[in-house]
Amino acid sequence: SAHFGEKCVAAYSNFRAPQLRQGEEDRAELLRLREVLARLRRGGAEAEGLYLYDLALPLQLPGLLEHVRLPRYFAHCYLQQTMRQHCFSRSWPTLFIGAAGTQARLHVDQWHGHFWMHLVSGRKRWAIFHPEDANLLRPAVPAGKHHPVFPDLADLESGALDAPGFARARRIDVDLEEGETLFVPGGAPHLVVNLTDSVAIAGNFIDESNYERALADIQAMAAEEAPDGPMAGTSAALEEIDFEPDRGLHEEQLPPRLLVVRYRDFAGGAAAGWGPVPPGEE
């Protein structure tokens, strides 16, 4: 709508393959959402490298949330079940709108968070490496940081860098098509290329399978902040809850309409448990 189009968002203008950046770092500018979409429609040089990347809908475009449904498989996020608010309470879902040819560098998501993405339109190509093989990709942790930085995947593939273990790294390459949803486990290095203009919604989450590793990362980050910093607040919020593992049902037991949840049921953890099959839905 016109209302959403007037919202100002941070859009990257050089999200291209590293060899095309000519040494440039990520560069963003504030644009109205309608201008981002107009540049994509016009195409050409205006759209080259244009990427609206990981925009938190609850914080920046909350009016869109009534039109969004989230996959129920990922609705049991522990970050939504805490008693107190923290810096990630309203971080997801996020919006991705990218021009054909844009790409994110090889990376792992913060604090070993699991990741999901639903592709609304377009086509994306993913390269995903096994979390246990991240050390074969020549990661380096910059001073003062807690997450690894990886070299360009093209340099690893071409042999331009000395990485003798790279050929042994377990890898999945997949093209994500319109209407499909992808899960990436926490700690898995991945690179994504937009093969066409694309629109997607996504989110990170913590559950019983990555809770301990994620909490350790968050605590390590909190240790380098002020005592009342955002990561300290997140750590405290997670530590004070005795979470119950998700009691999942087999998806074939539920009709398709119950495999997605509204944002208002996701926020605050109302949709966290599958629960019994509703009467009449067996």
So what's the pLDDT on residue 22?
59
Block mean pLDDT (10 aa), the chain, length 282: 82 82 77 96 94 97 94 92 95 98 95 98 99 97 87 95 95 98 98 98 96 96 92 96 70 76 91 62 48
DSSP state of 226: -
Domain ranges of the chain: 55-246+259-269
So what's the pLDDT on residue 272?
82
Backbone angles phi, psi at 198, to 5 degrees: -145, 155
Give residue 125's identity as a one-letter amino acid code: R
So what's the pLDDT on residue 246?
64
So what's the pLDDT on residue 5?
86
So what's the pLDDT on residue 282?
47
| DSSP-derived secondary structure for 41-66 | HH-GGGTTT-EEEEEEHHHH-GGGGG
This prediction has a pTM of: 0.92
So what's the pLDDT on residue 236?
96
SS3 (DSSP) at 236: helix
Its CATH architecture, for the domain 55-246+259-269, is Sandwich (2.60)
